[in-house]
A = this chain, B = another copy of it.
Amino acid sequence: MGKVSIYFIRHGIAADRADYDHDGDRPLTEEGRKKTKKIASKLNDLGLKFDLIQHSPLVRAQQTATIFAELGYPIAECEYLAPAGDFKQWLAWFRNWHKSNTKPGTNGIGSGDRSLGLIGHEPDLSAWAEILLWGEVRSVLVLKKAGIIGLAVPEPGEPIANSLMFMLVPPKILL
């Protein structure tokens, strides 16, 4: 199946709630856009390459994903990444994606290692990461806007309560 690294990326700084009738319409601020661009290109420079980036349908997540798309990564909207989205539905998708790996490995045939980005919202992203780490939500991870959590998913096998965390990077470290 190849190993999978999952990167949970919180959207960048967005406009105030008070200024928009619908929360989902809030765009990134100019500062949010600038910082997110810097962070995306720093991650790219560090050798982090995404095979796919899924993002929440909300404008601020979509705009964050577009910044990554400008670096050449394929992005795709994923409704399960909306606030309070359905983790089980996403997990079903993920198992299927994990299994259907046709990326060439170092031996030239399918099952190379892959990286998946998930751009969404708190507290959902850190809750999903916690379920993959230890099977339940403990709310002990602090993920700031444009911050990133990196998990290594076992190959093959059950990801829940079975993944490892190798990264929780606050945005200021990447600026």
Contact = CB atoms under 8 A, between A and B. Distances in A.
13 contacts: A46-B173, A134-B134, A134-B138, A134-B140, A140-B163, A140-B164, A142-B164, A142-B165, A166-B168, A166-B170, A167-B169, A168-B168, A173-B173
A141 interface: yes
Interface string A147-175: 00000100000000001111111101110
A75 interface: no
Which residue among A133, A140, A170, A172 has the maximum number of chain B CB atoms within 10 Å of its CB? A140
A72 to B, nearest CB: 21
Interface residues of A, number: 20
Contacts of A142: 152, 164-166
Nearest to A147: B166
A164 B141 contact: yes
Q: Is the interface of A mostly helix, strand, loop or mixed?
A: mixed
Contacts of A152: 142
Interface of A: 46, 133-134, 138, 140-142, 144, 152, 163-170, 172-174
Contacts of A169: 167-169, 173
Contacts of A163: 140
Contacts of A140: 133-134, 163-165
A68 to B, nearest CB: 17
A129 to B, nearest CB: 10
A113 to B, nearest CB: 16
Q: Which of A141, A144, A165: most chain B CB closer than 10 A?
A: A165
A141 B151 CA distance: 9
Which A-B residue pairs are the 5 nearest by beta carbons? A168-B168, A142-B166, A133-B140, A142-B164, A140-B164
